[in-house]
Structures are given as C-alpha cells and as structure tokens.
C-alpha cells in the first residue's frame, strides 16, 4: 500500500532531532489529537508502505507499529510536514482506543473539541447500523426503513423551524440536536456519513 503525501521525505529536517521527528496523530474524522510519537526514516518508510502508523521507540530502540499487540492500529489517511519540515502531522483512523489505558486519546478529554462529538456520534450510528442491538432506538429507526427515517428528518426539520420562531434558545437547541441526529441516521441508511457532507461543503467553499 502506498499513501500519498505532500512533502519529500528526503527534505525533512532529520538532523535537528538526531534522526527523529515528532509525529502528532490526529483523528481523521473528528480532529481529536490521539497521541504523539517519534519517527525515523525507517518508521516513516514503513508507515507509508504499509498504511499502518509505525514509530521508533526511543526506550526499546526499535520500530513499533501502533497496536501490534493490542490490535488497536492506526490506519493512515494522510501525512503532512510542518512549515519548518521538522515535525509531522498524521491523520489516521483508529481501530479502537489509542492510549494503553484504554482511552481514545493519550491526552484525555482535553484533546476533544466540542465539534469532535459529531464525528463520534457518526461512528456510533454506523456501529448501530452494523450491529443492530435490540434495545437501541437507532436500531428501531434502521429497521423501520429509509422512508420512515426520511419522514423523521422532515418532522424534526419542521419542529426546528417552529422552535426558531416561537420558542427559546434551549428549545431550539434541543430540536436542532434531534434534527442532526436523525439526519446522521438517514445518511447512514444510504451508506453515507458526515465526512461525505463535510467534503461536499469543503468543495463548495473552495469553488466559492
């Protein structure tokens, strides 16, 4: 597997850190900072070739692929160098908790911007669609079919509009939350997700 990057690995400032560069890993969907590691040339090459984030362990003096024992690997989506070419930013899709303590991020909740919750909600809805737990409202929506989900989105849209003109901020926020949730379910029922919506918005922004 070959992953596209927007820099020349040979032009990175390897000498600044005695052959090591700090590599910040960020969740590709919701923007959370997951962890910090270090890469040498070999770790970078292995990451790009295999698509799984690999670091150089300073304590063990060897390469290690994140999740090589736990299975909680980091699947590389893209990689970028900073303006001085002496640090790396990796966007990745985590297959489970990133931290050895079992949490999503090594930095805790401080690494989770408020809007990041939308990405987590989208992922949760996707799991509900696959697993269909019996006691889940989301499961009931999926089993009701696309038309019923679309109807719910329409209902929530009307209620949101009415709240905007006739109710207070708390009511509007509550209705807007309901609308966004049901819209996420509708997208998943069509095999889509919030990421695709974000890409569409980004394309329009670039054009406009």
**Mind listing the pLDDT tens digit for each residue in 176-195?**
999 999 999 999 999 999 98
Ramachandran angles phi, psi of 96, nearest 5°? 115, -175
Q: What is the pLDDT of residue 141?
A: 98
Q: How far apart are CA 105 and CA 34, in angstroms?
A: 4
Q: Where in the chain is the domain with CATH 1.10.287.1080?
A: 116-207
Q: Where in the chain is the domain with CATH 3.10.20.810?
A: 9-107
Asked whether the beta carbons of 43 and 34 are under 8 A apart, the reply is: no
Mean pLDDT of 163-170: 98
Mean pLDDT of 97-122: 82
Q: What is the pLDDT of residue 30?
A: 82
Angle, helices 194-207 vs 116-131, to 10°: value is 140
Res 208 pLDDT > 70: no
Architecture of the domain spanning 9-107: Roll (3.10)
Q: What is the pLDDT of residue 1?
A: 56
Q: How far apart are CA 134 and CA 106, in angstroms?
A: 33
Q: How far apart are CA 192 and CA 119, in angstroms?
A: 13
What fold is seen in the domain 116-207? Helix Hairpins (1.10.287)
53: closest CA among 81, 84, 24?
Answer: 24
Sign of CA dihedral 55, 66, 54, 195: negative
Res 155 pLDDT > 90: yes
Percent of the chain residues topping a pLDDT of 70: 94
């Amino acid at each position: 597997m070959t992953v596209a990057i927007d820099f020349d690995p040979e032009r990175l400032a390897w000498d600044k850190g005695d052959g090591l560069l700090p590599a910040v890993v960020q969740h590709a969907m919701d923007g959370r900072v997951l962890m910090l590691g270090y890469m040498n040339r070999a770790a970078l090459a292995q990451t790009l070739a295999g698509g799984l984030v690999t670091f150089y362990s300073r304590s063990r003096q060897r390469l290690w692929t994140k999740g090589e024992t736990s299975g909680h690997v980091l699947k590389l989506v893209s990689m970028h160098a900073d303006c001085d070419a002496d640090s790396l930013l990796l966007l990745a899709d985590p297959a489970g908790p990133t931290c050895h303590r079992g949490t999503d991020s090594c930095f805790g909740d401080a690494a989770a911007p408020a809007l990041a919750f939308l990405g987590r909600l989208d992922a949760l809805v996707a799991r509900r669609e696959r697993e269909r737990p019996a006691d889940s409202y989301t499961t009931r929506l999926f089993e009701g079919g696309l038309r019923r989900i679309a109807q719910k989105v329409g209902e929530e849209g009307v209620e949101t509009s009415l709240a905007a003109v006739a109710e207070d901020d708390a009511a509007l926020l509550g209705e807007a939350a309901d609308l966004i949730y049901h819209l996420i379910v509708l997208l998943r029922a069509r095999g889509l997700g919030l990421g695709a919506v974000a890409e569409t918005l980004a394309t329009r922004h670039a054009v406009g």
